[in-house]
Structure formats: structure tokens, C-alpha cells
């Protein structure tokens, strides 16, 4: 342990994307969710290094930014796969064999919800209602809605995304 | 030139509408037929999506459900001039599902191009706002109050009274916020408005702004609705360019601006105070009331918060007069409610009817029973926090008070049908589980009670001291109902207790463990 230990980092931390996006919203603290969405869209997730940068830019504490990032299901702390598949687990989908779809999704991708396939192709996430309750069960593939998803249909979609 | 309509509504896209557009364009180009495609909203006949329509002198002719593979044969039968194709449904407006509705709020949805101001105004759009621009704020509030309109988000609070509170408050800045965090499973009417008739929401919110003296509004849209978000943003931009938003609207002294804010996957942000926190860029933690948001809302200022459907009802009220709106309905539930038929139902979609229609008429006459063809066993009305009703309650009229008197709620008008294969103990467990996943964590009954609820239901199902645990669950539900800060914890017992009450046999089976989820 010969190197100096830094107790307090006084230099302004750097995370170019975070500070650029925050500036786009005039560094307004009420725009934090919008900023995080844009950041995740650009970088794929919300990197730890971005939190102090946003705190600085928006004049918030790191704890406040951390609190927001961890409160909302949407924000990811680590990179996702190339595709994100969200499967609805809510009641209307349950009423038309949604539970079977949920099981089939895990089986055909061979991962659990919240995980990414080892080849980095697909991240599987749960969602509670996509507003496609009359064409259920429904999923969202990246931002594309797909309705009446049978286990077979899911398998075909998964195969397509995995390749 | 032939006009063909292929909806851009996400329920139509989910069934392949985009592929149909590509196929029609390709086939039209190959056959050198002059076809222009309009991406309309959905007519609300979800089981027929994608519903393709052709404009003819007889009116619009519908075809559905169309798949991209059908496009070649549609052209083969010259669908643009003949209705001989097997998928032809005849004149759209004559379809009983549509003909038997009373569409006030959804009068335009699916008929117009959602982003065409010309279409909007030629179908009665902006008439209510134009009238309101020359009215005193208090007169607008009085008109809305007189219409009997109640909050369509589920709570049913009189809209006019809320507006009056904000109108009478003195402040340098007031806000109008639209709660478009439509997180309840089985509801999609807000989404349909935003994707299919976005100017109506803009108009309703602008009228609210003029009525109470607010110059700024926000629409909080859940991130699960990417299409609604992009359509609303486009609509705001277009309306601003056309001076229906912005400074000195249509040359008047009134100014009003709108911004879309995205949610981030938290169900609790559909609760109004939690939504305010989220709009301020914070964790969506529920605020205690009082102070009520009408007096201290967004950034501590007087704020109108209404659901999409509440704002969307206002242009009609202002254009046609409060009496016209008030004339339909029953009891203290005035006007119409856009019901949403969802789940295991043959003919799902949007049915706008005056209050007073029975659940049976909705599920059997409009819905045609279950999609699976099996008997209906349970119907959840009003979202994940609403009761599960048995078939014996099918004749209840949809009315806030009648439902409340029967231990249920109309809520946002979402109707989710389950057939006889449903396991009600599993549904009750899910209600508790959902609450434990989505609780904001601020109050103990909701945060911890929901987890204890899941455990207790598991024990009941596994026949571990069943009678004792049933008593415990009952006690827990009482604590959650009485002790929670907001409706999330306060109403989660509704689906649980209704399942226990109406379907006790599902909790009294020989021991069985739930598969781990």
C-alpha cells in the first residue's frame, strides 16, 4: 500500500455523456429521470461513474441521485444485452396463459428474469402491463410491441434475436 | 387516389400492422395503383386488429384481422373497390360492437389521422377550447362542475371541485398535470387516446390551464408506452407550431405550454403524490395528505392532477355543454366511461358507454364471452387493486356507488375476464406479490404487509394451520386497509378478500405448493 489514499476526491469527476445530457436539460434537477433515460439509451445502462457527475451538475447529493436510480425498475446498473425483451406478467396476460409464456420465456432463453444470455444477445425483463391487454399475452421486443405471444411464437422470436 | 387506413395504435402494431403497411405499399407499387395509407388510431376492436379500412362512397369498409400474408389476396380481390374478400367486415360504422356504443370521448379515435390538425378541427376538435378562450376561468370551472364529470383515473373525485380549489388558490405559478401512468392491467384507454387522438388531451389540459390560470402543464407517461410518448411529443410540437399551445393561443391573452415526462417503470407513480415526486425528479415516494395537491402540488404550487380520460372528456363538455354530458349516466355517475374489455375475452377492446351498463352486457353482449370458449369464472374490474367478481354479480350496473356498495370498484373501467381454469388463490397471492414489488416503501402496512401477505397465502394453500392463517390474513388485510398511506396498500386487500369471499374453495384444496416464480 505505497500509493496515496484519496479520502476526498476534489477534482470534478468526468463522464462526458452524463454531463452533456444534463446540459441538454439545463442541468435542472427535476429532469433527472429524463436525463437518466437518455443516458441509458445512449450508453446502454447507468454507469456508476455517471452518478457523481449528475449530482454535481444538478446540484444534488450523490445519495439523492443514487436513490432515484435504484428506485425505478427501468434503470440498469450494468450493461444489457443487444436486445431487451420485456414480458408482461400482469393479470390480463395471466388470464390467457401468461404464466405459461413466462415459463417458456425463461426456458427458451435458458436464463431467469433479470438476466442476460451468455452471448450477450438478449436480456429478459418482467414488465407489469404494456396496455396490450386485449391482445394478450404481450411482450415488448426492444421498443416493438408483440401481441398474442404463444410459447411457440416466443421461441421463434428468441431464436431470431439470439442469432 | 385510394385512401387506406392501417392503425398505428400499438395494439395493431403488436399484431403486425407495420408489416401490412409495407406489404400494401409494395403491392400497390408493383400494380401501379395509387394508394395512400393513413396511420390512424385504433377503432377499438382489438380482436380484429390489424383492422384495415378502405374509404369508399358507402363509407369506410373494414377488413380484419389482416396479416401481411393476406395482402396479396386482398389485392387479388381488388379490396380497394370491392368488399368480396373473406376478411371483409362491411361498413365499419355498422359493426354492432361500434354501433351500440355511445362514443363522446372516443368519437374521433381511429377515424382521423392522429397528428393532423386539419382532421382534428374538421371533426369538432378545438371547438371547446375556442369557446373557453373567451370565457372567464370561473365560468369554465362551473361548466365542468355542472357536467358531473368525476375523475376517470379510478377515485371518481368530482373534477369541477378539484378545479375550483386550484382556481381559488392564490399563487404566482400553478400547474396542470396529466396522470398518464396507466399501470393497471386491463386498462388501455389512456394509451389509445394518446396514440389515437392526442390533440384531445392537449385541448382538455389547455382548457384546464385557462380555467385555473396555469401556464404550464406536464404529461407524465409511463415508459412502457413508447408509442404514446412519441405521438404525444409530436402532437405537442405540431400544436405549438399551429399556436394551439404556447404564447397567446390563437391570438388570445392566454398562454399554455406542455411537456411530456417519462416515468421509469414504477407502478406507484400512478398515485398522484408519488407522480408529483417523480415529476420533480425524485424517488416516487407517496406524500402524506394534507396538504392536497390542489393547494400544494408540483413544486409546492397549486396543481390540477387529472387522468387522461378526465381531461379528454372536457373538450366535449365545453363544446356541447355540460347538460349534454350530464344527460347520460346513472345516479351520481354522469356521462360515459370508456370501458376496456381485456384478458380472456373473445371480442376485447374499447367500449364507451354511459354509466349504468351492466357487467353482463359488457362481457357477454360486447365481449362475446371468453376467448377460450370456457365458462367465465371471475372478472377483475378496476385494475390490480380492484375486486374479483363472481358470475353471480354480472348484473351489477357500472356505477361508482353501486360497485362500492358491493365491495368492488369501477376504477378506470378496465374489465379483465378469467375462465374456469383460473386459480383464485394464485390470483390473490399475485395481488400481494405485486404490492410487495411495487410498494414505494414509505409506510409499513404496505411495505411489510404485502410480503407477509404472500407468505400467509402460501401457508393457507399449503394447509399449514389453515384456519389460523386465514384469520391472520383477514387481520393483515384490515391493517393494510386502515393503515396504509395511499391506495396501493389500502386497496391491495380488495382483490385478496374478494377472492377469499367469492372463491373460498380455491383456498381449501388439499395442500399444494406454488411453483417458484
Specify the CATH number for the domain of residue B163. Answer: 3.40.50.11540
Interface contact A30-B279, CB threshold 8 A: yes
Contacts of A86 in chain B (CB under 8 A): 224
CA distance B266 to chain A (A): 6
Please compute, for residue B456, the number of CA atoms within 13 A of its CA located in the half-sphere on the CB side. Answer: 22
Q: Which residues of B touch A144 (CB under 8 A)?
A: 13
- Name the nearest CA neighbour of B275 among B487, B411, B266: B266
pLDDT confidence band for B187 (50 / 70 / 90): very high
Do B368 and B428 reside in the same domain of the chain? no
CA distance A16 to chain B (A): 21
Count the neighbouring beta carbons within 10 Å of the beta carbon of residue B236: 23
Q: Report the pLDDT value the prediction gives residue B509, as an integer from 0 to 100.
A: 87
Q: What is the CATH number of the domain that holds B448?
A: 1.20.1440.230
Contacts of B419 in chain A (CB under 8 A): 95
Chain A residues with CB under 8 Å of B418 CB are: 95
Cα separation, B491 vs B506, in Å, equals 21
Q: What does the pLDDT look like over B385-404, one tens digit per residue?
A: 999 999 999 999 999 999 99
List phi, psi (to 5°) of B215: -105, -5
Q: Name which of B185, B196, B429 to mutate to probe chain A: the one with the most chain A Cβ atoms within 10 A of its Cβ.
A: B185
- Cα B85 → chain centroid: 34
Here the CATH number for the domain that contains residue B399 is 3.10.20.600
pLDDT of residue B517: 45
What was the pLDDT predicted at B514? Answer: 57
Pairing status of strand B88-91 against strand B414-419: unpaired
Mutate to test the interface with A, among B9, B10, B339 (most CBs of A within 10 A): B10
Put simply, the chain B residues between 369 and 428 with a CB less than 8 A from any chain A CB are: 371-372, 380, 384, 414, 416-419, 422, 427
One domain for residues B351 and B411: yes
Which of the 8 DSSP states describes residue B288? P
Average confidence score pLDDT of chain B: 97
C-alpha cell at B155: 377515485
pLDDT at A2 (0 to 100):
55
Residue B516, pLDDT score: 45
Question: Do B305 and B399 sit in the same domain of this protein?
Answer: no
Looking at the structure, tell me whether residues B228 and B200 fall in a common domain: yes
- The pTM assigned to this predicted structure is 0.96
Mean pLDDT in residue range B261-272: 97
Q: Residue B471 — left, alpha, or beta (φ > 0 → left; ψ -120 to 50 → alpha)?
A: alpha
Query: Which SS3 state, helix, strand or coil, does residue B172 take?
Result: coil
Q: Give the ranges where chain A is alpha helix by DSSP (H).
A: 16-24, 32-43, 50-58, 62-71, 91-94, 98-109, 151-162
Q: Do B62 and B88 contact (CB within 8 A), yes or no?
A: yes
Q: Across residues B495-501, what is the average pLDDT?
A: 98
Cα four-point dihedral sign B410, B416, B421, B425: negative
CB B40 within 8 A of CB B8: yes
Chain-centre distance of CA B511, in angstroms? 39
pLDDT in tens, chain A (163 residues): 456 676 665 555 668 899 999 999 999 999 999 999 999 999 999 999 999 999 999 999 999 999 999 999 999 999 999 999 999 999 999 999 999 999 999 999 999 999 999 999 999 999 999 999 999 999 999 999 999 999 999 999 999 998 7
Q: Is B265 on the interface with A (CB under 8 A)?
A: yes
Helix (H) or strand (E) holding B307: strand B303-307
Same structural domain for residues B342 and B315?
A: no
User: Which among B71, B99, B127 is the end of a domain?
Assistant: B99
In a domain, B516, yes or no: no
Mark whether B7 and B43 lie in a shared domain: yes
Average pLDDT over every residue of B178-202:
98
Identify the band that residue B510 occupies on the pLDDT scale cut at 50, 70 and 90.
confident
Mean pLDDT of B210-230: 98
Q: Is residue B370 part of a domain?
A: yes
Same domain, B22 and B133: no
> Do the beta carbons of residue B335 and residue B328 sit within 8 Å?
yes
Are the beta carbons of B266 and A146 separated by less than 8 Å? Answer: no
Residue B148 lies in a domain: yes
- The distance of Cα B272 from the centroid of its chain, to the nearest Å, equals 16
The pLDDT of residue B85 is above 90:
yes
Q: Are B493 and B481 in contact (CB under 8 A)?
A: yes
User: Which of the listed CATH numbers 3.40.50.20, 3.40.50.300, 3.40.30.10, 3.30.70.3000 matches domain A83-162?
Assistant: 3.40.30.10
Cβ neighbours of A148 in B, within 8 Å: 14-15
Domain match, B94 and B126 both: no
For residue A131, give the nearest of B191, B284, B341 by CB distance: B191
Q: Count H helices and E strands in chain A, helices first.
A: 7, 4
Partner A, chain B 300-339, Cβ-Cβ below 8 Å: none
Q: Could you give the 3-state DSSP secondary structure of residue B464?
A: coil
- Choose among B46, B188, B281: nearest Cβ to A32: B281
Other C-beta atoms lying within 10 Å of the C-beta of residue B402: 18
Model-level ipTM above the cut of 0.90: yes
Q: Is residue B109 part of a domain?
A: no
Query: Which residues, numbered 232 to 251 in chain B, qualify as contacts with chain A under a Cβ-Cβ cut-off of 8 Å?
Result: none
CA B220, B399, B10, A122 dihedral sign is positive
Q: Helices (DSSP H) in B100-197: which residue ranges?
A: 117-122, 127-133, 137-147, 159-168, 189-196
Domain boundaries, chain A: 16-71, 83-162
| Angle of the B198-212 helix axis to the B308-320 helix axis, nearest 10 | 80
How many domains does one find in chain B? 4
Distances in whole angstroms, Cα of residue B453 to Cα of each of A91, B379, B460, B473: 18, 22, 10, 7
Residue B458: domain span:
424-507
My answer on whether B34 and B130 are in the same domain is no
pLDDT class of B132 with cuts at 50, 70, 90 = very high
Amino acid at each position: 500500500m505505497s500509493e496515496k489514499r484519496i479520502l476526498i476526491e476534489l477534482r470534478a469527476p468526468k463522464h462526458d455523456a452524463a454531463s452533456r445530457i444534463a446540459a441538454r436539460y439545463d442541468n435542472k434537477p427535476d429532469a433527472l429521470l429524463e436525463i437518466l433515460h437518455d443516458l441509458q439509451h445512449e450508453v446502454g445502462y447507468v454507469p456508476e461513474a455517471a452518478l457523481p457527475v449528475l449530482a454535481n451538475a444538478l446540484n444534488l447529493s450523490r445519495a439523492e441521485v443514487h436513490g432515484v436510480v435504484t428506485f425505478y425498475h427501468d434503470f440498469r446498473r450494468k450493461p444489457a444485452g443487444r436486445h431487451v425483451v420485456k414480458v408482461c406478467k400482469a393479470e390480463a396476460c395471466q388470464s390467457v396463459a401468461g404464466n405459461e409464456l413466462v415459463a417458456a420465456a425463461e426456458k427458451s432463453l435458458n436464463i431467469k428474469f433479470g438476466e442476460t444470455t451468455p452471448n450477450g444477445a438478449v436480456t429478459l425483463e418482467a414488465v407489469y402491463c404494456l396496455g396490450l391487454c386485449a391482445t394478450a399475452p404481450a411482450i415488448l421486443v426492444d421498443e416493438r410491441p408483440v401481441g398474442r405471444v404463444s410459447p411457440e411464437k416466443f421461441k421463434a422470436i428468441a431464436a431470431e434475436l439470439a442469432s | 387516389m385510394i385512401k387506406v387506413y392501417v392503425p398505428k395504435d400499438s395494439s395493431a402494431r403488436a399484431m403486425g400492422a407495420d408489416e401490412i403497411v409495407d406489404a400494401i405499399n409494395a403491392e400497390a407499387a408493383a400494380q401501379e395503383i395509387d394508394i395512400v395509407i393513413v396511420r390512424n388510431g385504433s377503432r377499438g376492436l382489438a380482436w380484429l386488429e390489424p383492422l384495415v379500412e378502405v374509404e369508399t362512397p358507402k363509407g369506410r369498409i373494414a377488413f380484419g384481422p389482416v396479416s401481411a400474408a393476406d395482402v396479396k389476396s386482398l389485392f387479388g380481390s381488388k379490396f380497394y373497390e370491392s368488399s368480396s374478400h373473406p376478411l371483409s367486415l362491411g361498413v365499419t360504422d355498422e359493426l354492432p360492437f361500434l354501433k351500440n356504443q355511445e362514443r363522446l370521448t372516443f368519437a374521433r379515435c381511429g377515424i382521423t389521422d392522429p397528428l393532423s390538425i386539419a382532421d382534428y378541427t374538421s371533426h369538432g376538435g378545438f371547438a371547446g377550447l375556442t369557446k373557453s378562450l373567451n370565457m372567464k376561468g370561473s365560468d369554465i370551472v362551473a361548466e365542468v362542475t355542472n357536467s358531473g364529470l368525476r375523475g376517470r383515473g379510478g377515485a371518481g373525485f368530482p373534477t369541477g371541485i378539484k378545479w375550483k380549489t386550484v382556481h381559488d388558490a392564490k399563487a404566482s405559478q400553478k400547474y396542470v398535470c396529466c396522470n398518464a401512468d396507466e399501470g393497471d392491467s386491463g386498462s388501455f384507454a389512456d394509451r389509445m387516446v394518446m396514440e389515437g387522438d392526442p390533440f384531445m388531451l392537449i385541448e382538455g389540459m389547455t382548457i384546464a390551464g385557462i380555467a385555473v390560470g396555469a401556464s404550464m402543464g406536464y404529461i407524465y407517461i409511463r415508459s412502457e408506452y413508447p408509442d404514446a410518448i412519441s405521438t404525444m411529443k409530436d402532437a405537442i410540437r405540431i400544436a405549438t407550431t399551429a399556436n394551439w399551445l404556447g404564447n397567446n393561443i390563437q391570438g388570445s391573452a392566454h398562454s399554455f405550454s406542455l411537456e411530456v415526462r417519462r416515468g421509469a417503470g414504477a407502478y406507484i407513480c400512478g398515485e398522484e403524490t408519488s407522480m408529483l415526486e417523480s415529476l420533480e425528479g425524485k424517488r416516487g415516494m407517496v406524500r402524506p395528505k394534507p396538504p392536497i395537491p390542489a393547494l400544494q402540488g408540483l413544486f409546492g404550487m397549486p396543481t390540477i392532477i387529472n387522468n387522461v380520460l378526465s381531461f379528454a372528456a372536457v373538450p366535449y363538455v365545453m363544446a356541447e355543454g355540460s347538460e349534454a354530458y350530464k344527460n347520460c349516466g346513472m345516479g351520481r355517475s354522469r356521462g360515459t366511461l370508456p370501458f376496456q374489455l381485456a384478458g380472456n375475452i373473445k371480442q376485447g377492446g374499447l367500449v364507451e358507454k354511459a354509466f349504468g351498463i351492466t357487467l353482463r352486457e359488457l362481457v357477454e353482449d360486447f365481449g362475446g364471452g371468453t376467448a377460450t370458449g370456457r365458462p367465465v369464472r371471475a372478472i377483475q374490474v378496476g385494475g390490480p387493486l380492484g375486486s374479483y367478481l363472481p358470475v353471480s354479480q354480472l348484473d351489477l350496473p357500472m356505477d361508482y356507488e353501486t360497485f362500492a356498495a358491493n365491495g368492488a370498484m369501477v376504477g378506470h373501467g378496465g374489465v379483465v375476464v378469467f375462465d374456469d381454469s383460473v386459480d383464485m388463490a394464485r390470483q390473490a397471492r399475485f395481488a400481494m406479490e405485486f404490492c410487495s414489488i411495487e410498494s414505494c416503501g414509505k409506510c409499513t402496512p404496505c411495505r411489510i404487509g404485502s410480503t407477509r401477505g404472500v407468505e400467509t397465502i402460501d401457508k393457507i394453500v399449503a394447509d399449514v394451520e389453515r384456519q389460523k392463517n386465514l384469520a391472520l390474513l383477514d387481520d393483515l388485510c384490515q391493517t393494510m386497509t386502515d393503515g396504509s398511506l395511499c391506495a396501493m396498500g389500502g386497496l391491495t386487500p380488495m382483490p385478496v378478500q374478494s377472492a377469499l369471499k367469492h372463491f373460498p374453495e380455491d383456498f381449501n384444496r388439499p395442500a399444494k405448493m406454488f411453483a417458484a416464480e
